[in-house]
Amino acid sequence: MNVKKNLCRWYNESSAMKRAYDKGLIDKKWVENYCLVGGKNCVRKKRFEEEGYISPDYVLPDGSEDSKLK
């Protein structure tokens, strides 16, 4: 898989998911299953692009909440 080609456009230094992953706060599966596949099925990405809503940092890509990120 070409990671650069499939990387979600919002997965960068300002991304809550990137910051959480880099700090070891979330499992690699979140990045692999959402961020590295272009944001496919990502609730955070969908809400931002369709509604302009910025999800809180504790909301995971599937829309669930992780209290340790609060």
Over 70: is that where the pLDDT of 3 sits? no
Tens of pLDDT, residues 14-56: 999 999 999 999 999 999 999 999 999 999 999 999 999 999 9
Contact 69, 26 (CB under 8 A): yes
DSSP 11: -
pLDDT of res. 5 = 75
CA-based nearest residue to 60, from 49, 52, 69, 48: 69
Tokens 């809400």, located at residue: 47
**Would you state the pLDDT for residue 4?**
65
In this predicted structure, the answer to whether residue 2 has a pLDDT above a threshold of 60 is no
1 pLDDT above the threshold of 60: no
| Each residue's pLDDT tens digit, 54-65 | 999 999 999 999
